[in-house]
A and B are shown apart, each in its own frame.
Chain A
Amino acid sequence: MTRLRLGLALVWCACVIVAGASAQPARLVLRGATVITATDAPPSVATVIISGNRIEKIVPSPSAGDLAGARVVDVTGKTIIPGLVDMHVHYRDWMPELLLAHGITSIRDASNPTEWILAQKNGIAKGLIPGPRIFPSGNALNTPPRQRSYHAEVATPAAAVAEVQRLHGLGVDYIKVYTEMTPELVAAVTTEAHKRELSVAGHFSIMSAEQAAMAGIDSLEHATGITASITDHPEAWLKKDRELHGFGVTTPAFLNGLAEINADKEAKLIKLLVDRHVAIGPNLCTTARGATPRYREYQAEDFRLLQNPGLSYVPESVRTRFLDYSWWEGQDASERALMDKGYKNYQAFLLKFHKAGGVLLAESDTASYVLPGISLHRELELLVDAGLTPFEAILAGTRRPAEFFKKDKQIGTLEAGKLADLVVLDGDPLADIRNTRKIRMVIKDGVVMDTSYHADFAQPLPRNLPDTVEGNAVPAVSQIAPVITTEGAEGLTLAVKGRSFVKGCVVLFQGERVPTRYKDETTIEATVPRRLLTRVGTFPIAVWNPPPGGGVSNPVFFMVNFK
């Protein structure tokens, strides 16, 4: 991944520079659409005038004034909404095109190697990498032993405070606490973070939502912790969640655990959360991934999307995860009945929370089990299924996140002076929330984004941890046959055994690529031409897996002996 596809970036860079340098910034005018500003103002047909990277004004169409020199785009009959915000993205280097093409102009990153995600954020902000605005947490905080190499281990409140200070110094936008954190540690984190005007989001496993709220948490990711607070018997769920290392929310276990809830406890928790301004990320597209009756349709939608040859760079490992519903489909009838009941209870809980004034934040948890981009549209749809109006669902994906982050002066609504992040739709999402998918145009920072996919999309700054699940693995070679030939021999077929071979892998004979046939992930064959067998010696044989990820295996050695 060395080639930098800069065409788009350069164009947009030039725009920004022109905008900054010239007294009369470049103007972009969208005329004739219905504008859903996500403010309290009702939707209306208006002209949006963008100057540089900001919205100059939004005016009733006939009174746009002097538009000389502006680029005017007629979008009559279309609908404009603010750029979408996905509040839970495990951002990876291959995601930008998918996120932008789906109108997602900002994301909250749910933990990553700090230096890398900050470098991405800055590269994107400078227009050097195409991608959404990133609000990163950097390392997540968790107790030892370390689950992920990009977690910071904090064993004591003092260590937790020091880590918050360190991350704040590096420039993160919020703090993420993880599954094994205790109430005492979370309280230390939130106290320090709030002093620094950082919010704290938590994915909890051993703590209840009530404990988290009392410890000062600002958002419950995947609504974790509610089970312990609103059911009488959370043990089965907790046991399952422990077996799954705290990631039970990505399986049917979470909904199954909500099959029986205690109405008094539920009411009490809702009041506590609302009083203490704790937001919930419902993350329905993941937690109810196989519970929604829409799942077959979603599966087919993913399948079709992944057929796009422009997306050939999406890693094989995540493709299979997106399409795999075996956890859900493997349930027996009684488990399924529990899940259905739990899903209804969960939807009802979210609606009650919402009606009580609680803040719901749209989040996808991509790419754990759902595709980047499209999954946020499903989240909005599933919020509507839960009882929100389409407008309220749109707020969960635009204004509410901006308010949560105290960025509502910059993004989240369409108003004069705000950053020009917006999406032009071919349909009216207030009539049918599914129309958020009908994306005509995406504008970020005042620039029309390229929303097509490019097979040669190359990230100039790949993630520095390809040892994790995304992307092709680095292959390993265990043996070759034959291991020896004699100088001047005819070309030969080399059988190579090992692991993690992928289609498109290539055998390297002392660094030189030789024709390779893929058989399966443990077996490939290479044709070694005669010209490579003219010299006596011991030559390294390695296998290269293509990007994303990928790389060159360990060498094993092939001998050319004297004749």
Chain B
Amino acid sequence: MRTSIHRGTAAAAIVCATVVAASVALSAGQGAPVSRALLIKGGTLIDGTGAPARPSTAVLVSGSTIKEVGPSDALAAANKGATVIDATGKYVLPGLIDQHVHYVGWETAMYPYYGVTTVYDLGNLTEWIVAQRDDTNAGLIPGPRLYTPGNHLNGPAKSGDEIRAADFAGWVHIVTDRPSTLAAIDTLLSHHVDALKIQERLSEESLKTIVEAANEHHLPIVGHVTNARTAAEMGIKFIEHMYPIARATSAKGLKAGDADMEPEKFDDLIALFVQKGVFVNPTLMLDYAGVSRHREEWLKEDAALGPQLKNVRQYLKEGWIDFCYTVKPGREAQTKEGFRKASEFLTRFVKAGGIVLTGTDAGRRNVPGLSLHQEMEILVEAGLSPMDVIKGSTIYAARFFGKEREIGSVEAGKNADLLILDGDPLANIANTRKIAYVVHNGQVVKRSLDYKNPLPRPVSDEPAPILLSDLPFRFVQGQKDAVLTLTGKNFIPDSLVQFGSEQLTPTRQADGSLRVTVPAALVAKVGTYPVSVVNPWPAGGQSNTRYFMVDFSKQTGGTK
């Protein structure tokens, strides 16, 4: 991505970066781009609304918008000048929506690569995430359409409270009363955020103020709740993860895990949810990938992806596997029971007309883009139909954020975000991975994993490394290379060793320590050199400093 491209020539930038050039013609006379219509013909349409699949249906795209949807032959005949994608034998769906991600910046292009054309980021440093959103919309950064609440809203932390990443990384407005809450909301509104994100420590006064402001400005409220029943009764429409449901359906209350759920309590809660129109986003992949029947194939799939992600840190790649696929020893039975009960709840909920979303919590915990396909697959394993989960990834997700008029289905007037598959996802949901084309904002995406964000995230949610080793021995001037062994906490596979002003690449030992060879040139001069461990961006940065001495050699100096 060239950084000299300005918004004024955004369309031209799209030509360079993300689009098959043939779909756009430049008008020589004016230098301004004029796009021809794009016709996707011959495919079977699964439009996202839940309507039955329609064979031989064409989608006509004009600019960034779907102009018409209709019988393939008729549309083709009427639009002979259009650029054509022949989707015969293929399946046409709306671009997918991941309704729960944590945008980190290195993964932006992974979403469109996997057909995810819209994501909802659930909280981030306002200035950065808004810049990402606007730059992506302008075609300056490859990535999905992005909606975000910006900074979290939260109350002050008392001792003993859980400190969230947002707290220590500073992407939170701490508010106490109505005036401070209104001031924070004004700041967020000035950045044109798309939602308001609430956290558990807010005072009642702040919460009330936020609800009023959200209604006034037509912004959805997103966030975490502790108990699904009390939340739904208060009128909150989102339930993220299964745990608030477990707490509402188990005698164990706040201490309940999914395995403690009491299915005889499901009907009441389901009725309440359906009545109130509550969206449930269970994030099953996070909790149950380790006991899914797809575990081995997903592990292989994630591992195969690793080498292609040249700009993604090794610790993230390893972290995806640690988070999702590792079941704590001795907890297999409990985890399986949790999965069984969560599956039962979700199946009964959908049967009763409930809405299940397919958000993934992607970023640090599972693979951006790919995990949405895995989440759809695990929801089908849980008992939902392929059509249910396609709706959860398209029209329901759009509705959740009040964006149903713009995205979420293949209908005239909506944004032209399309996913064209080589296999039938209704026959096998795993076919959502068989991607032939992705169309985003009317342009065919040039799918690539090789990119670098020109505007990296300025905060890290990762802990900084801590250097614990003493460097007790002293090294004498004139010796050869010095070998240091460093022990500490929060070291990652990507950790570097900062020695004075130089960064050295260590090798990781089996016990987690880092061993590094300091070249003779760096220890040639007498001195006391600072040594620290650096976890490079987007990891936690630099550790505390310890000191390494290079002493005068025995040969140097006087006669005594």
Bound complex: CA A115 to CA B548 (Å)? 10
Q: What's the least CB distance linking B493 to chain A, in Å?
A: 22
Residue of B nearest to A484 (CB): B127
Question: In the complex, which residues of chain B have a beta carbon less than 8 angstroms from the beta carbon of A123?
Answer: 526, 551-552, 557
User: Which A-B residue pairs are the 7 nearest by beta carbons?
Assistant: A557-B458, A126-B557, A464-B547, A20-B559, A538-B456, A536-B3, A462-B528
CB proximity to A under 8 Å, residues B434-459 = 454-459
Bound complex: CA A561 to CA B560 (Å)? 63
Question: In the complex, which residues of chain B have a beta carbon less than 8 angstroms from the beta carbon of A538?
Answer: 455-458
Q: Does A551 contact B (CB under 8 A)?
A: yes
Q: Does A2 contact B (CB under 8 A)?
A: yes
CB proximity to B under 8 Å, residues A112-132 = 115-116, 119, 122-123, 125-128
Question: In the complex, which residues of chain B have a beta carbon less than 8 angstroms from the beta carbon of A289?
Answer: none
Residue of B5, B170, B456, B560 near A537 (CB, 8 A) is: B456
Max count, chain B CB within 10 A of own CB: residue among A19, A127, A461, A536 = A536
Chain A, 515-550, contact with B by CB distance < 8 Å: what is the 0/1 string? Answer: 000000000000000000001111000000000000
Bound complex: CA A479 to CA B7 (Å)? 29
With A127-B557, A484-B131, A538-B458 as known contacts, state yes or no: A563 contacts B7, CB within 8 Å: yes
CB pair B541–A555 under 8 Å, yes or no, is yes
Q: Does B323 contact A (CB under 8 A)?
A: no
CB pair B541–A562 under 8 Å, yes or no, is no
With A119-B549, A535-B3 as known contacts, state yes or no: A556 contacts B458, CB within 8 Å: yes
Question: In the complex, which residues of chain A have a beta carbon less than 8 angstroms from the beta carbon of B547?
Answer: 462, 464-466
Q: Does A16 contact B (CB under 8 A)?
A: yes
Question: In the complex, which residues of chain B have a beta carbon less than 8 angstroms from the beta carbon of A466?
Answer: 547
Q: Does A559 contact B (CB under 8 A)?
A: yes
Bound complex: CA A350 to CA B560 (Å)? 39
Q: Does A13 contact B (CB under 8 A)?
A: yes
Residue of B140, B457, B548, B556 near A126 (CB, 8 A) is: B556
Q: What's the least CB distance linking A515 to chain B, in Å?
A: 22
CB proximity to B under 8 Å, residues A489-538 = 535-538
CB pair A562–B127 under 8 Å, yes or no, is no
Max count, chain A CB within 10 A of own CB: residue among B131, B458, B548 = B458
Bound complex: CA A460 to CA B140 (Å)? 50
Q: Does B527 contact A (CB under 8 A)?
A: yes
Q: Does A558 contact B (CB under 8 A)?
A: yes
Q: Does A300 contact B (CB under 8 A)?
A: no
Interface size class, chain A? 35 or more
Q: Does B481 contact A (CB under 8 A)?
A: no
Given contacts A479-B170, A551-B530, 11 further A-B contacts (CB under 8 A): A2-B527, A13-B558, A20-B559, A123-B551, A125-B558, A126-B557, A463-B528, A464-B528, A464-B548, A483-B128, A557-B457
Q: What's the least CB distance linking A492 to chain B, in Å?
A: 14
Q: Does B138 contact A (CB under 8 A)?
A: yes
Q: What's the least CB distance linking B346 to chain A, in Å?
A: 40
CB pair A563–B6 under 8 Å, yes or no, is yes
Question: In the complex, which residues of chain B have a beta carbon less than 8 angstroms from the beta carbon of A487?
Answer: 3
Bound complex: CA A180 to CA B170 (Å)? 42
Bound complex: CA A443 to CA B310 (Å)? 65
CB pair A562–B456 under 8 Å, yes or no, is no
Residue of B nearest to A560 (CB): B455
Question: In the complex, which residues of chain B have a beta carbon less than 8 angstroms from the beta carbon of A67?
Answer: none
| A–B pairs, 20, beta carbons within 8 Å | A16-B559, A17-B559, A119-B474, A123-B551, A126-B556, A462-B527, A464-B549, A465-B547, A474-B545, A487-B3, A537-B3, A537-B456, A555-B542, A559-B127, A559-B458, A561-B131, A562-B3, A562-B6, A562-B455, A563-B7
Q: Does B472 contact A (CB under 8 A)?
A: yes
Q: What's the least CB distance linking A47 to chain B, in Å?
A: 26
Bound complex: CA A84 to CA B125 (Å)? 61
With A464-B548, A562-B135 as known contacts, state yes or no: A115 contacts B528, CB within 8 Å: no
Bound complex: CA A536 to CA B473 (Å)? 44
CB proximity to A under 8 Å, residues B1-38 = 3, 5-7
CB pair B527–A561 under 8 Å, yes or no, is no
Q: What's the least CB distance linking B522 to chain A, in Å?
A: 13
Chain B, 209-221, contact with A by CB distance < 8 Å: what is the 0/1 string? Answer: 0000000000000
Residue of A nearest to B453 (CB): A538
Chain A residues within CB distance 8 Å of chain B: 2, 13, 16-17, 19-20, 53, 115-116, 119, 122-123, 125-128, 149, 460-467, 474, 478-479, 482-484, 487, 535-538, 551, 554-563
Bound complex: CA A557 to CA B454 (Å)? 14
CB pair B7–A551 under 8 Å, yes or no, is no
CB pair B455–A461 under 8 Å, yes or no, is no
Residue of B128, B135, B545, B551 near A461 (CB, 8 A) is: B551
Question: In the complex, which residues of chain A have a beta carbon less than 8 angstroms from the beta carbon of B170?
Answer: 478-479
Bound complex: CA A464 to CA B530 (Å)? 8
With A536-B3, A562-B6 as known contacts, state yes or no: A557 contacts B455, CB within 8 Å: no
Chain B interface residue count, CB cutoff 8 Å, equals 43
Bound complex: CA A537 to CA B452 (Å)? 11
Chain B, 114-128, contact with A by CB distance < 8 Å: what is the 0/1 string? Answer: 000000000001011
Bound complex: CA A449 to CA B389 (Å)? 85
Bound complex: CA A557 to CA B125 (Å)? 11
Residue of A nearest to B476 (CB): A119
Bound complex: CA A477 to CA B552 (Å)? 36
Bound complex: CA A228 to CA B464 (Å)? 47
Question: In the complex, which residues of chain B have a beta carbon less than 8 angstroms from the beta carbon of A464?
Answer: 471, 528, 546-549
Residue of A nearest to B127 (CB): A484
CB pair A461–B557 under 8 Å, yes or no, is no
Question: In the complex, which residues of chain B have a beta carbon less than 8 angstroms from the beta carbon of A149?
Answer: 470
CB pair B541–A554 under 8 Å, yes or no, is yes
CB pair A126–B6 under 8 Å, yes or no, is no
CB pair A16–B551 under 8 Å, yes or no, is no
CB pair B556–A128 under 8 Å, yes or no, is yes
Q: What's the least CB distance linking B139 to chain A, in Å?
A: 10
CB pair A461–B528 under 8 Å, yes or no, is yes
Q: What's the least CB distance linking B557 to chain A, in Å?
A: 3
CB pair A461–B526 under 8 Å, yes or no, is yes
Question: In the complex, which residues of chain A have a beta carbon less than 8 angstroms from the beta carbon of B472?
Answer: 115
Q: What's the least CB distance linking B98 to chain A, in Å?
A: 24
Residue of A nearest to B500 (CB): A2
Bound complex: CA A123 to CA B528 (Å)? 13
Max count, chain B CB within 10 A of own CB: residue among A128, A465, A474, A484 = A484
Question: In the complex, which residues of chain B have a beta carbon less than 8 angstroms from the beta carbon of A13?
Answer: 557-558
Residue of B459, B464, B527 near A460 (CB, 8 A) is: B527
CB pair B473–A461 under 8 Å, yes or no, is no
Q: What's the least CB distance linking A495 to chain B, in Å?
A: 15
CB pair A562–B5 under 8 Å, yes or no, is yes
Bound complex: CA A71 to CA B472 (Å)? 45
CB pair A126–B135 under 8 Å, yes or no, is no
Bound complex: CA A555 to CA B458 (Å)? 10
Bound complex: CA A535 to CA B5 (Å)? 11
Question: In the complex, which residues of chain B have a beta carbon less than 8 angstroms from the beta carbon of A558?
Answer: 458
Residue of A nearest to B531 (CB): A464
Bound complex: CA A464 to CA B560 (Å)? 25
Bound complex: CA A20 to CA B560 (Å)? 9
CB pair B459–A557 under 8 Å, yes or no, is yes
Max count, chain A CB within 10 A of own CB: residue among B455, B526, B545, B558 = B558
Q: What's the least CB distance linking A473 to chain B, in Å?
A: 12
Question: In the complex, which residues of chain A have a beta carbon less than 8 angstroms from the beta carbon of B556?
Answer: 126, 128
Residue of B nearest to A542 (CB): B542
Q: What's the least CB distance linking A480 to chain B, in Å?
A: 9
CB pair A561–B455 under 8 Å, yes or no, is yes
Question: In the complex, which residues of chain B have a beta carbon less than 8 angstroms from the beta carbon of A536?
Answer: 3, 454-455
Bound complex: CA A149 to CA B471 (Å)? 12
Question: In the complex, which residues of chain A have a beta carbon less than 8 angstroms from the beta carbon of B551?
Answer: 115, 119, 122-123, 461
Bound complex: CA A483 to CA B126 (Å)? 10
Bound complex: CA A424 to CA B527 (Å)? 34
CB pair B127–A115 under 8 Å, yes or no, is no
Residue of B nearest to A15 (CB): B558
Bound complex: CA A536 to CA B459 (Å)? 17
Question: In the complex, which residues of chain A have a beta carbon less than 8 angstroms from the beta carbon of B544?
Answer: 467
Bound complex: CA A559 to CA B470 (Å)? 37
CB pair A551–B545 under 8 Å, yes or no, is yes
